[in-house]
Amino acid sequence: MSEHKLFEIKGLKTFFHTEAGTVKAVNDVSFDIYKGEVLGIVGESGSGKSVTSLSINRLIPNPPGEIVAGKVLYNGTNLLDLSYEEMRKYRGKHIAMIFQEPMTSLNPVLRILPQMNEVLIEHDGISLMKQLPEVLKCLNQLGYQNPKEE
């Protein structure tokens, strides 16, 4: 294990304000992740696993949710202090989340290549045309027979 600390989550608290009162979905969660380390978060349904991940990625809908306390340090930068636009630069390129329903990540109405192009341009500044051979190879490995047509 590397001694380089990638993530430091300190005292993270995410609450949801409802008509019935405040739900403390994540209440004082702390952990570290070092380079090369894998962390699995397990627990019962409703224990706060997804809300913890959504909080780290700053994807909590506000309202009704709110990150009320804590720090989410990535390479020393507190992601909770970043503006929305600054945070977008981290998502997908430096940190990511695989949602419980990954099949909903792509828009089924749109073709795959334009959606991939958007990601490449947004995060790498590279157009799909420059990456096309590698992207087609990856799509073939995923089982797409004619990715240029999809």
pLDDT of residue 148: 65
What is the domain extent for residue 92? 5-103
- Whether 90 and 141 map to the same domain: the answer is no
- Whether 35 and 75 map to the same domain: the answer is yes
The answer on pLDDT for 83 being more than 80 is: yes
- Whether 44 and 87 map to the same domain: the answer is yes
Q: What is the mean pLDDT of the chain?
A: 85
Residues 9-35: pLDDT tens digits? 999 999 999 999 999 999 999 999 999
- Whether 130 and 97 map to the same domain: the answer is no
What is the tally of structural domains in the chain? 2
- Whether 12 and 58 map to the same domain: the answer is yes
- Whether 89 and 125 map to the same domain: the answer is no
Q: What is the CATH number of the domain that holds 25?
A: 3.40.50.300
- Whether 56 and 78 map to the same domain: the answer is yes
Contacts of 69 (CB under 8 A, 6+ apart): 11, 12, 13
Question: By C-alpha distance, which of 38, 37, 30 is closest to 3?
Answer: 37
From residue 101, alpha-carbon distances to 61, 90, 104, 121 in Å are 18, 22, 6, 25
Cβ atoms within 10 Å of 24's Cβ, excluding its own: 13
- Whether 67 and 126 map to the same domain: the answer is no
- Whether 11 and 63 map to the same domain: the answer is yes
Residues 69-79: pLDDT tens digits? 999 999 999 99
